[in-house]
């Protein structure tokens, strides 16, 4: 933020309240009065890069408001002193381990009192918002009489991602200010909107540039500025008959994405609005109790765990990446999409392939992707300009990082390395996107094997956050550090894994997919198999996932892992699967695999039979068993990293907190006993790994 903005807060200003220390009378707030008689209250969370609302911050705000009430200014402006944004929401660390709903309700009640006190001030109050204004920060802003957004600000209620809904009055204030259907949609999805969209909805009263903030504030305080008022449609849509109708539609739409037993928060929010949306005071009170009930659910506590797992994986990226040019070899579904994602993140990308058709297809997909992830047309155009077709492969000479993404064939990959290594510039990194081949086998064709690293992305690249950063016993530590930093640079979560067959994610995922094939051999309907996994909480069943990944890739990985790990660990791949691959029925990318795919979606018939209780165990517990084995063998450093990798790399039911966390919650002894029963019934592939004992009961 421009430092000129804060000249008004110089020492010459009249301080309100007790004499200031270096930070002022409060730890997290700074209060000054300008020459126009307007009080400026800056939130500056101590020793934090971003502002969040903790109990301490809110207690201090209450004291600040008491001071202001004793000496009322012409108006009060609340804004952030941090360049990162306004307020990023509540301090999530407060939520961990909550088990007493009554204690949560009491704490929320105290926080409500502070926000209500702000709303009740009898003089103009203005929230000036830059950067992110999320969750509790947006709820605080909604309690002000006017909201002025700096162009580029972002707004949203992400609480649903934590298994919660807004808890500081946001459910009532938002639906009374903005069209309730739009307000509820934002709260139910957790999506963010920009300042211009917020202005169009009526969430903010004005959008301005930083240099015009003081003029806009003076207008708001003097009354010459006309704030947005809720229109008659807001009142109409909050009427009981309309609420009942819309709530039914919301539940049906929500059910397509989340089961109520897995994710109760969106349903609780809909119930809250349907029941109390016509009475603001009742809704504010009911919100506290509903929030408290959700907070102590396993879903919320596990999703809060996932929030912190994500933060831990982000930290693994380490320092700043020096990579600016990426050369990708192989323009298939993975290589082309890796190239597109890198270009969308501001890097120069050259894409090479033996044929022009896959390169052209990759550029077409990239254009569609940029249209979705980049809001401005000029940004999408610039991203396409950075995405350079390179049929001659000349980009390898200038690239800081070369990513090989050719088919999963050992000899083919070795030939590629032999052809390009001498052309790479000094200091460049060679990375492979192999999904299963150990790097010790790939490096034999290299004169500088220490510069080889694995960067294993997941499909679809634009949505899957994880990148496995694969090391081997001869890898240069600086290369591995640079690879992790690169993953962070392109907004992906790096997980360090040791070179081993399948690494972590594919090694754990392959038994999940192959067990589904075994069930098909037993004449179980494929829709029933997928339903068993989805009812457990997986984003899609193993049959649909196999189609999504590509049956040819699944087959190659399964063969590779079975050859390395043995027949006792993985069953033989069915002959009929090989026949499907030979016939070109590869799944989504060819329009037909197990399912027929149209417009990017699988056509699924109605469910013929319901899953039996043991089907989910047959699919899920082998994954957990492999995760334990990888932890025991040192392929991954900790149980938390295992859980984070499986959640962000496979979509493993986030509300369960990861496969190892799920096993602990269910009871390790009970999981081991179930695996033993499955082994007795179905074979040695279910035999419990020796590492379960170390995981604990």
580-616: pLDDT as tens digits: 999 999 999 899 999 999 988 999 988 989 999 899 9
pLDDT greater than 50 at residue 15: no
Whether residue 76 is found in the same domain as residue 199: yes
Residue 606: is it exposed, middle or buried by C-beta count within 10 angstroms (0-12/13-18/19+)?
exposed
Give the total number of structural domains in the chain: 3
- CATH assignment of the domain containing 117: 3.90.226.10
Whether 116 and 8 map to the same domain: the answer is yes
One domain for residues 585 and 564: yes
Q: Are 461 and 565 in a shared domain?
A: no
Q: What is the pLDDT of residues 278-313, one digit of tens each?
A: 999 999 999 999 999 999 999 999 999 999 999 999
Asked whether 52 and 91 are in contact (CB, 8 A), the reply is yes
pLDDT above 50 (res 14): no
Q: CA-to-CA distance for 688 and 52, rounded, in angstroms?
A: 44
> pLDDT at position 570, please?
85
**How much of the chain exceeds pLDDT 90, in percent?**
85
Q: Is the peptide bond before 628 cis (omega within 30 degrees of 0)?
A: no
**pLDDT above 80 (res 1):** no
Closest CA to 64 of 18, 108, 21, 110: 18
Where residue 517 sits, what CATH number does that domain have? 1.10.1040.50
Average pLDDT over residues 673-688: 95
Radius of gyration for the chain, computed over Cα atoms and rounded to the nearest angstrom: 28
- pLDDT score of 615: 96
Q: Is residue 114 one of the residues assigned to a domain?
A: yes
Buried b / exposed e over 201-233, threshold 16 CB at 10 Å, is bbbbbbbbeeeebbebbbbbbeeebebbeeeee
Note the pLDDT of residue 16: 38
Residue 284 lies in a domain: no
pLDDT exceeds cutoff 50 at 19:
no
CATH code (residue 484): 3.40.50.720
Same domain, 491 and 567: no
Backbone angles phi, psi at 225, to 5 degrees: -95, 130
**Measured in Å, how far apart are the chain's first and last C-alpha atoms?**
51
Structural domain boundaries, residue 545:
506-634+667-695
Q: For residue 168, what are its two tokens?
A: 């500081």
Q: What is the mean pLDDT of residues 346-355?
A: 96
Q: Tokens 């009898």 sit at which residue?
A: 122
Do residues 626 and 672 share a domain? yes
- The answer to the question of residue 271 being in a domain is no
Q: Which positions are catalytic?
A: 456
Judge whether 455 and 432 are in contact, CB under 8 Å. yes
Question: Domain check: are 345 and 432 in the same one?
Answer: yes
With cut-offs at 50, 70 and 90, classify the pLDDT of residue 564: confident
- The confidence score (pLDDT) of residue 697 equals 52
Residue 456 shares a structural domain with residue 529: no
Which of these three, 504, 529, 561, is where a domain ends? 504
Most confident segment among 17-31, 471-485, 570-584: 471-485
645 in a structural domain: no
Final residue in a domain of this structure, among 504, 532, 557: 504
Q: What are the two backbone dihedrals, phi and then psi, of residue 456, each rounded to the nearest 5 degrees?
A: -100, 105
- Average pLDDT for the chain: 92
- What value does the mean pLDDT take over residues 458-474? 93
Residues 546 and 681 in one domain: yes
Beta bridge partners of 295: none
CA 80 to chain centre: 25
Whether 253 is covered by a domain: the verdict is no
Distance CA 446, CA 427 (A): 14
Per-residue pLDDT reduced to its tens digit, 394-431:
999 999 999 999 998 999 999 999 999 999 999 999 99
Q: Are residues 421 and 441 in the same domain?
A: yes
pLDDT at 256 over 60: yes
Confidence of residue 229 (pLDDT cuts 50, 70, 90): confident
**Per-residue pLDDT, 24:** 54
> Does residue 225 sit in the same domain as residue 100?
yes
Shared-domain flag, residues 495 and 552 = no
Task: Determine the pLDDT at residue 13.
Answer: 33
Instruction: Please state the pTM of the whole predicted model.
Output: 0.91
Residues facing 33 on adjacent strands:
14, 39
Residue pair 635/504 in contact (Cβ under 8 Å)? The answer is yes
Q: How far apart are CA 338 and CA 341, in angstroms?
A: 5
Instruction: Answer whether residue 258 is part of any domain.
Output: no
Q: Is the pLDDT of residue 20 over 80?
A: no
Q: Is 242 inside any structural domain?
A: no
652 within some domain: no
pLDDT band at 47 (very low <50, low <70, confident <90, very high): confident
Least-confidence region, from 340-344, 473-477, 572-576, 628-632? 572-576
């Amino acid at each position: 933020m421009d430092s000129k903005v804060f000249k008004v807060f110089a020492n010459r200003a009249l301080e309100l309240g007790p004499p200031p220390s270096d930070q002022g009378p409060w730890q997290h707030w700074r209060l000054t009065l300008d020459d126009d008689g307007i009080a400026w209250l800056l939130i500056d969370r101590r020793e934090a890069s971003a502002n969040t609302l903790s109990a301490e911050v809110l207690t201090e705000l209450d004291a600040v408001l008491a001071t202001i009430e004793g000496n009322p200014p012409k108006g009060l402006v609340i804004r952030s002193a941090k360049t990162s944004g306004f307020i990023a929401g509540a301090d999530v660390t407060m939520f961990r381990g909550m088990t007493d709903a009554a204690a949560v309700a009491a704490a929320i009640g105290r926080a409500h009192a502070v926000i209500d006190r702000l709303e009740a001030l009898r003089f103009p109050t203005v929230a000036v918002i830059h950067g992110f204004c999320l969750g509790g920060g947006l709820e605080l802003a909604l309690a002000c009489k006017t909201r002025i957004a700096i162009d580029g600000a972002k707004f949203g209620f992400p609480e649903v991602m934590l298994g919660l809904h807004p808890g500081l009055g946001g459910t009532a204030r938002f639906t009374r200010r903005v069209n309730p259907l739009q307000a509820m949609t934002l709260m139910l999805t957790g999506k963010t909107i920009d300042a211009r969209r917020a202005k169009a909805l009526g969430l903010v009263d004005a959008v301005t540039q930083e240099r015009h903030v003081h003029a806009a504030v003076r207008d708001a305080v003097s009354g010459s500025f006309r704030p947005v008022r809720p229109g008659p449609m807001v009142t109409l849509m909050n009427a009981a008959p309309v609420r009942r109708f819309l709530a039914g539609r919301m539940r049906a739409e929500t059910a397509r994405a989340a089961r109520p037993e897995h994710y109760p928060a969106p349903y609780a929010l809909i119930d809250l609005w349907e029941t109390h949306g016509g009475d603001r005071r009742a809704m504010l009170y009911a919100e506290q109790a509903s929030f408290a009930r959700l907070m102590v659910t396993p879903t919320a506590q596990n999703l809060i765990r996932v929030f912190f797992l994500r933060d831990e994986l982000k930290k693994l990226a380490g320092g700043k990446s020096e990579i600016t040019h990426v050369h990708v070899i192989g323009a298939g579904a993975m290589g082309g999409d890796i190239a597109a994602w890198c270009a969308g993140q501001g890097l120069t990308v050259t894409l090479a392939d033996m044929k022009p058709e896959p390169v052209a297809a990759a550029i077409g997909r990239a254009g569609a992707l940029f249209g979705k992830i980049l809001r401005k047309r000029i940004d999408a155009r610039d991203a396409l300009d950075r995405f350079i077709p390179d049929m001659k492969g000349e980009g390898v000479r200038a690239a800081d990082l070369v990513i090989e993404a050719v088919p999963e064939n050992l000899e083919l990959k070795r030939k590629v390395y032999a052809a390009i290594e001498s052309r790479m510039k000094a200091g460049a990194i060679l990375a492979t996107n192999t999904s299963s081949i150990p790097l010790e086998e790939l490096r034999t064709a290299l004169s500088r094997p220490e510069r080889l690293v694995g960067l294993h992305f997941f499909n679809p690249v634009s949505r899957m956050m994880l990148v496995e950063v694969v090391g081997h016993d001869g890898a240069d530590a600086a290369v591995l550090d640079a690879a992790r930093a690169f993953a962070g640079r392109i907004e992906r979560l790096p997980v360090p894994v040791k070179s081993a067959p399948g690494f972590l994610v594919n090694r754990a995922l392959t038994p999940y997919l192959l067990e589904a094939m075994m069930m098909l051999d037993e004449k179980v309907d494929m829709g029933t198999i997928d339903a068993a996994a989805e009812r457990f909480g997986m984003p899609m069943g193993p049959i649909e996932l196999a189609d999504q990944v590509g049956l040819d890739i699944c087959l190659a990985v399964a063969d590779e892992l079975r050859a390395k790990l043995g027949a006792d660990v993985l069953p033989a791949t069915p002959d009929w699967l090989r026949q499907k691959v030979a016939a070109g029925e590869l799944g989504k990318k060819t329009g037909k695999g197990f399912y027929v795919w149209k417009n990017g979606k699988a056509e699924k018939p109605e469910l013929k039979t319901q899953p039996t209780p043991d089907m989910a165990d047959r699919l899920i517990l082998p994954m957990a068993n492999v995760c334990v084995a990888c932890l025991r063998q040192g392929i991954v450093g900790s149980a938390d990293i295992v859980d984070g990798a499986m959640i962000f790399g496979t979509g493993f039911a986030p509300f369960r907190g990861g496969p190892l966390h799920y096993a602990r919650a269910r009871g390790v002894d009970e999981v081991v006993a179930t695996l033993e029963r499955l082994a007795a019934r179905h074979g040695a592939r279910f035999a419990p790994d020796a590492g379960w004992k170390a995981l604990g009961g």
